[in-house]
Amino acid sequence: KRYFSGYPTLTAEAAEWLGGFRLKGIGLDTISADAADTVDFAIHKSFLSRDVIIIENLAHLDRVGADPFDLACFPLKFQDADGSPTRAVALIGRTGN
């Protein structure tokens, strides 16, 4: 139950600020970019309106380290879906951008 509520989220202002960068995506180690009780999904809308993908539920981020790395995500292809489970892979020692 604890994982699905009370997790940290960005403020709307922080999402807008981050969205001002040339990001391709943003990754989070929480269940959602928005709070569990949201009705407007402001954080999702802020990123998605800028074509920034949102990758949620990332795990083992402590293993990546602080050096730059490439991130590859391999989602399942679903028709008419708004999301998908994905295999997220950190390619350490690479920075192809």
Mean pLDDT of the chain, nearest integer: 91
Tell me the per-residue pLDDT of 18-48, one tens digit each, with 9 for 90 and over.
999 999 999 999 999 999 999 999 999 999 9
With contact defined as beta carbons under 8 Å apart, do 29 and 57 qualify? yes
| pLDDT band of 67, cuts 50, 70, 90 | confident
**Residue 93's pLDDT is what?**
81
**Residue 43's pLDDT is what?**
96
With contact defined as beta carbons under 8 Å apart, do 54 and 48 qualify? yes
Give me the count of residues in the chain.
Answer: 97
What CA dihedral angle connects 66, 72, 75 and 81, to 10 degrees? 80
**Residue 97's pLDDT is what?**
60
| pLDDT band of 50, cuts 50, 70, 90 | very high
Q: Could you tell me the pTM of the whole model?
A: 0.84
